Structure 1
């Protein structure tokens, strides 16, 4: 068998066949020479650094004496050897202040120290383990398609990130020791680990192995005890995000302003959408262009739903046509470079004018949204916002003769018939994730009280499917949702997305002005 026989090439090396990279010593030597020196001064401290430090301190106070491991996550394969644009895990972004796409595989470790001697007087010292910029005299510089500067652009150095974030940094080569050293039962002087799981499989395996190898009795080891430790950390990190700090609120305002600009582009593109066989893709495309132009990306896949597609709650195929006389429901949000996202929905008449029945349905949804907003006050339970909207929708459905029972019967726990046409909740928390704080305990989320700093949506809707024989024919094929992003303050709720028209008259005037 010859050396060139493909059977001798290891499978994992075959991905490099397309590169056809020279391997001569002359090439390597030449590639390592004649590069301008990189003598840029260290960057200034990021505005977010002090806010992120306070968040780390809050988590440190929750888990003194334990090692906390928070991975950013690895790149995710899209197809063969191409990756999706990288987005770090939200818990990592929250505790470091790092957004964008330059920290794949990074891990934040909060190492326990003597009480009160850690960062900011806390119980831990934080270190960010990171793969820094490779020197131009290394093969990684030009040969590593995932982290080499020649392929993906410059990465920050350890010193640069430390200056920006105020967090000690270390090369990722030291990560394994940092995660596993001293792990064991606290009863015999070991260190307990808590991990944000299902972010990086390699880190999961590293922690699991360390726990297993240091267990006092491997035969009776109860892995569910470790799962509980990790779940409590995920819960605490999620609950920490229930109250947004001043910096976070500013980022959300930026994301929402960018989203409003994206909605204007959608309305301008309506004639082109009507003329295209897949007009929903035209709508999706113009919003995505604005998101990439002014932000980092979409906060989630855009719902661009015309006609009956608007009755599909998470319609993201966006393959339908946009027809004159239909309503167009668009649920979209721009993700800022900090990764905070907006989540806004507007429903507009494609031809610029609501029909009588469209306006009737739209006004009912708007009234429900306004009732929910009026109910949202500091100290009010989160679930009461939903209840206020449901009361309005049930009453309208009864007025129209659609409900098979009275509104009061429908609103009872044993009824709920109105939910056929409004099956989702009216509100969810919003922030780094479009459905933020998802691991928070029920008593702090649904049963929790609204407090200054909370950011959430108000998004009632009515959805009458074309095949729904329980409603009059004139209602069928119409879906309406109005969604706004709310910031609770000490004075009450503030609608951060109020710049986008909401009343039917204002929506019609808006469409006319942009067309």
Structure 2
């Protein structure tokens, strides 16, 4: 980490005299002299002038905002990107905007810390439909004649690189852009109780605490009921989730790209296995092999990679990844590349470390694959989302019953009064996928779990069986084996399209694929 701080001699008078306040800013500061300011403001080449091309996502984002506008006529909607987040002391995580902000603006990558999208109610259109005017408030580029250019390690160009201007973002994304300093007036002007002629404000909460405070103070000062407002804000978050249940063409393209990059990551994993076998933390070798694809082909991983060998694969959220990769065992990898657009894949494959499945491994794997195929058959327009899970768990229960593991019948196990199969398959089979790995999570239950499957939906299908090594309810040969198969599925009018079909699924395909890569 760059720093030109010169340490004080321990025990020196200067060290003893340094105040606690000064120690709180124990990093090098630029000179404050006018001579230095003048020198730093001169001798820089002019930034090249260019008119950015309109982003392909601009029109799609406008249509998303119009759909949101129709749900909240006459109300001001405030959607923050979120601030930079501290990782440790004075270092930040890489910035990623809130998903609702990214969806409504089309901005991906690291645009723009502290930005806020405001949808201001406007006059209805010619057809009488509700309308809003959108404005994006963010911190504009500081000129090189300002102290911020060289003195601000969070936002100064000298430290973090160039930033787009208001005009450039306006031209590229087709949205009005304004200085962040104007946000307070934009959010609070004529805000208040609708019954008294004020404008109702809805906010995506707990994204930017400064914006929360701004809105809450305005509500308090104008006599707006704060408890009632919590419900209004929750409804905005709910609708923003529901608007992502069906993906547009741009979103599907983004997901295809993320999935293709993820397939590359899985190829990296297979090629890394010889080294993983030799390392005491072989799971970390696997994790970093995948991360290489995530950072070179996309923005990052969409979530913490699960790289679990042997019994670790029976731990559903195993992200320590500090175990060994051992010959004769299975390796479960659940991973996804997040594209530069911030859309993520989510794929799981369970691989034999040696490149060949044993008979018992194959028996369990084939049962999970049969459950996945049953779920695919149920993932068709007109069915309910919950039907996908029901088809998968019935198939798994039938296999468990055939092996003599279920203490009850299949019917009793899959009934509400039973559930015994969940000892070995405790999670859901599917979740929506998009900007978040668990996308649309705040949508109403009747539109999600109980919702009707429609063309344009993208979700996972991921059954599994997890036999822990200390589970005395199963034969010893089953213990320590965890298997999950997860694919990303696009619903079309003709049925499900497996977007992750480039990665092999059957035991024979996996063995041939691994042999070819080695």
Q: With structure 2 as the length reference, what TM-score do the two structures score?
A: 0.96
Does 2:149 correspond to 1:146?
Answer: no
**In 1, Cα distance between equivalents of 2:195 and 2:226:** 17
Does 2:104 correspond to 1:95?
Answer: yes
Aligned to 1:17: 26
Does 2:188 correspond to 1:180?
Answer: yes
Alignment of 1:83-482 (within 5 A): 83-116=92-125, 122-215=130-223, 222-482=225-485
Query: 1:443 is paired with a residue of what secondary structure?
Result: helix
**1:67-95 C-alpha deviation (Å, 9 max, x unpaired):** 00000000000000000000000000000
**In 2, Cα distance between equivalents of 1:91 and 1:375:** 30
Query: 2:108 is paired with a residue of what secondary structure?
Result: coil
Query: 2:447 is paired with a residue of what secondary structure?
Result: coil
- Residue 17 of structure 1 and its aligned partner are, at CA, apart by 2.8
Q: Is the 8 A contact 1:117 1:123 kept in 2?
A: no
- Residue 117 of structure 1 and its aligned partner are, at CA, apart by 7.3
Q: Is the 8 A contact 1:141 1:148 kept in 2?
A: yes
**In 1, Cα distance between equivalents of 2:328 and 2:27:** 51
Does 2:31 correspond to 1:28?
Answer: no
Q: 1:7 to 1:116 in 2, by over 3 A?
A: farther
Q: Is the 8 A contact 1:75 1:84 kept in 2?
A: yes
Q: Is the 8 A contact 2:69 2:130 kept in 1?
A: yes
Q: Is the 8 A contact 1:97 1:165 kept in 2?
A: yes
Aligned to 2:497: 494
- Residue 8 of structure 1 and its aligned partner are, at CA, apart by 7.7
Query: 1:248 is paired with a residue of what secondary structure?
Result: helix
Q: Is the 8 A contact 1:141 1:149 kept in 2?
A: yes
Q: Is the 8 A contact 1:15 1:81 kept in 2?
A: no
Aligned to 2:76: 67
- Residue 6 of structure 1 and its aligned partner are, at CA, apart by 7.8
**In 2, Cα distance between equivalents of 1:230 and 1:129:** 20
- Residue 223 of structure 1 and its aligned partner are, at CA, apart by 2.1
Q: 1:176 to 1:222 in 2, by over 3 A?
A: closer
**In 1, Cα distance between equivalents of 2:225 and 2:167:** 42
Structure 1 stretch 320-329 or stretch 171-180: which is displaced more? 171-180
Q: Is the 8 A contact 2:70 2:129 kept in 1?
A: no
Q: Is the 8 A contact 1:325 1:351 kept in 2?
A: yes
- Residue 18 of structure 1 and its aligned partner are, at CA, apart by 1.7
Count of matched residue pairs: 506
**1:250-289 C-alpha deviation (Å, 9 max, x unpaired):** 0000000000000000000001000000000000001111
**1:1-51 C-alpha deviation (Å, 9 max, x unpaired):** xx989878673x645432242222211111010111113212011000000
**In 2, Cα distance between equivalents of 1:9 and 1:128:** 41
**In 2, Cα distance between equivalents of 1:202 and 1:472:** 57
Aligned to 1:46: 55
Q: 1:44 to 1:121 in 2, by over 3 A?
A: farther
Q: 1:318 to 1:6 in 2, by over 3 A?
A: same
Q: Is the 8 A contact 1:252 1:341 kept in 2?
A: yes
Q: Is the 8 A contact 2:397 2:414 kept in 1?
A: yes
**1:415-438 C-alpha deviation (Å, 9 max, x unpaired):** 010010000000000000000000
Aligned to 1:218: none
**In 1, Cα distance between equivalents of 2:159 and 2:465:** 48
**1:98-137 C-alpha deviation (Å, 9 max, x unpaired):** 011130000000001122279x975110000011211011
Structure 1 stretches of at least 4 aligned residues deviating more than 6 Å after TM superposition: 3-8
Q: With structure 1 as the length reference, what TM-score do the two structures score?
A: 0.96
Q: Is the 8 A contact 2:219 2:226 kept in 1?
A: no
**In 2, Cα distance between equivalents of 1:16 and 1:129:** 29
Q: Is the 8 A contact 2:219 2:225 kept in 1?
A: no
**1:192-236 C-alpha deviation (Å, 9 max, x unpaired):** 100000000000010000000011xxxxx6422000110010000
Q: 1:159 to 1:384 in 2, by over 3 A?
A: same
**In 1, Cα distance between equivalents of 2:106 and 2:20:** 40
Query: 1:446 is paired with a residue of what secondary structure?
Result: coil
Q: 1:383 to 1:89 in 2, by over 3 A?
A: same
**In 2, Cα distance between equivalents of 1:60 and 1:6:** 60
Structure 1 stretch 27-36 or stretch 478-487: which is displaced more? 27-36
**In 2, Cα distance between equivalents of 1:490 and 1:281:** 41
**In 2, Cα distance between equivalents of 1:410 and 1:510:** 36
Q: Is the 8 A contact 2:74 2:130 kept in 1?
A: no
Q: Is the 8 A contact 1:279 1:319 kept in 2?
A: yes
**In 1, Cα distance between equivalents of 2:226 and 2:433:** 33
Unaligned runs of 5+ in 2: 1-12
